[in-house]
Amino acid sequence: MSGAGTGAADAAAVGADAEAETAVETYTTSVVGGTGFTGGELLRLLAGHPAFEVVQATSRSADNMTVGRSHPNLRDLDLRFSDPDDLESVDVLFSATPHGVSMGRVDEYFDVADTVVDLSADFRLPEAAMYDEWYDGHASPEYLERAEYALPELNRENLPGADLIAGGGCNATATILGLKPLVDAGVLGPETGEVVVDVKVGSSEGGAGGGAASSHPERSGVVRPYAPTGHRHEAEIEAYLGLSVSFTVHAVDMVRGASATCHVFPDEPVSKADLWTGYRGAYADEPFMRIVSGGGGVYRYPEPKSVAGTNHGEVGFELDPGNRRVVVFSAIDNMTKGSAGQAVHAANVALGLPETAGLEFGGLHPVGSP
């Protein structure tokens, strides 16, 4: 659909056309920052997407090298990285650069693209003051109001027609997906007591850069408190759930995955039936969410393994009657639902495409440290 308008109304019309006719219209897309892990995940998803055509992937370090050299799963993709300073015109530009880059280049991005989807933290928070508090300030605060948070389960109604989409943080995503049904049900609110969120994440969160702490000999087999307190994703959770949570993140031995265990102490007693009602109400119609809570077999609760490589999120819960605690488990693939998949999902919604387009992969079993 290169050159055409990408407003939601147009997109919806195109969607209708697509069903009526056999020809499928496509949006040209580019990925800025394609050698990183989330950049590679974007390329994987976009390359398999029926409505997106990848016309450019940039990399300063791998300029002119094949995408498959960095991402062996993409060896069949006929594409070479190009210079990030030489952006092509596209319908949708996805940016997967380190934090701080997009806020400096967003004007440039809009010069070449109708829709910008940013996977960094640069447009995630709604107010400039939050960047002053949690990051190093913001270079383009005038865009913050325009940006829409990518997570459709939270923000679907504001995504159609959005032209600046801000992908959520992986740990924040896992937490928000776990707790939102409790907030919606009134079980949890800003006045409730402490909410402890204990997160376990895989090594892909550390990015492709390497470093001693992420070398295989040091990183294997760890249960390592890497963000005991003060993790920046707290800001997102507070901004979008209206809750201050006690947040601690541990590195564990897997590559993909984020698992949030949320310990909640509601003011009023809740029953297991209440919980089922709340979570079913929130997620029964969501194409990517599953409630996994008890039952038989080996996989009785959410596990990152079960959703590795997919855009699915699993949530589950148990009641601890003795201390009136609700324990909520939430598991995602940090690379997919927690980053690139969420971005594609949001773009699908923004452009009026089928929500699951390009995100149909359902995962593997058995799978090791995914």
And the tokens for 275? 């919980």
Q: Which is nearer to a copy of itself, 1 or 45 (CB)?
A: 45
Per CB under 8 A, the list member of 16, 75, 137, 280 interacting with a copy of itself is 75
As measured in angstroms, the least distance from the Cβ of 188 to a copy of itself is: 14
Residue 22 as a binder of a copy of itself (CB under 8 A): the answer is yes
Query: Is there binding between residue 360 and a copy of itself (CB under 8 A)?
Result: yes
Residues between 223 and 242 that touch a copy of itself (CB under 8 A): 223-225, 228-230
For residue 358, is it left (φ>0), alpha (ψ between -120 and 50) or beta?
A: left
Q: Give the CA count within 13 Å in the CB-facing half-sphere of 248.
A: 11
Q: Which of residues 158-197 bind a copy of itself (CB under 8 A)?
A: 193-194, 196
Binding of a copy of itself by 364 (CB under 8 A): yes
Using CA atoms, how far residue 330 sits from 69, 99, 176, 250, 370, in Å, is: 34, 25, 9, 15, 17
Within residues 313-352, the interface with a copy of itself by CB under 8 A covers 316, 318-320, 322-323, 325, 327, 329, 331
Residues 189 and 216: beta-carbon distance below 8 Å = no
Interface with a copy of itself, residue 96, by CB under 8 A: no
> Smallest gap, in angstroms, from Cβ of residue 158 to a copy of itself?
27
Answer whether 357's CB lies under 8 Å from 323's CB. no
Q: Which is nearer to a copy of itself, 148 or 303 (CB)?
A: 303
271 binds a copy of itself (CB under 8 A): no
Residue 116: partners with Cβ closer than 8 Å, 6 or more residues away: 92, 93, 95, 106, 109, 110, 163, 164, 165
Phi and psi at residue 295, in whole multiples of 5°?
A: 80, -175
Contacts for 132 with CB less than 8 Å, ≥ 6 apart? 138
Question: In whole angstroms, how close is the CB of 218 to a copy of itself at the nearest point?
Answer: 5
- Per the annotation, the verdict on 262 as an active-site residue is no
Q: 20, 64, 142, 295: which one contacts a copy of itself (CB under 8 A)?
A: 295
CA angle, corner 135, sides to 32 and 228, nearest 5?
Answer: 105
Q: Of 13, 129, 281, 365, which one interacts with a copy of itself (CB under 8 A)?
A: 365
Smallest gap from Cβ 319 to a copy of itself, in A, equals: 7
CB closer to a copy of itself, 83 vs 218: 218
Which of these ranges, 35-43, 49-57, 164-172, 273-281, lies near a copy of itself under the rule CB under 8 A?
Answer: 35-43
Residues 6 or more apart whose CB falls under 8 angstroms from that of 253 comprise 203, 219, 220, 221, 222, 369
* Residue 289, phi then psi, degrees to nearest 5: -100, 140
Q: Which is nearer to a copy of itself, 45 or 162 (CB)?
A: 45
Q: Does 92 bind a copy of itself (CB under 8 A)?
A: no
Binding of residue 361 to a copy of itself (CB under 8 A): yes
Residue 332, CB-side half-sphere exposure with 13 Å CA sphere: 29
Nearer to a copy of itself, 246 or 271 (CB): 246
How many residues interact with a copy of itself (rule CB under 8 A)? 98
Q: How far is the CB of 19 from a copy of itself (least distance, A)?
A: 11
Query: By three-state DSSP, how is residue 201 classified?
Result: strand
Q: Which of 57, 150, 170, 179 is catalytic?
A: 170
State how far the Cα of 144 lies from the Cα of 278, in Å rounded to an integer.
32
Provide the 3-class DSSP secondary structure of residue 216.
helix
> Which residues are part of the catalytic machinery?
170
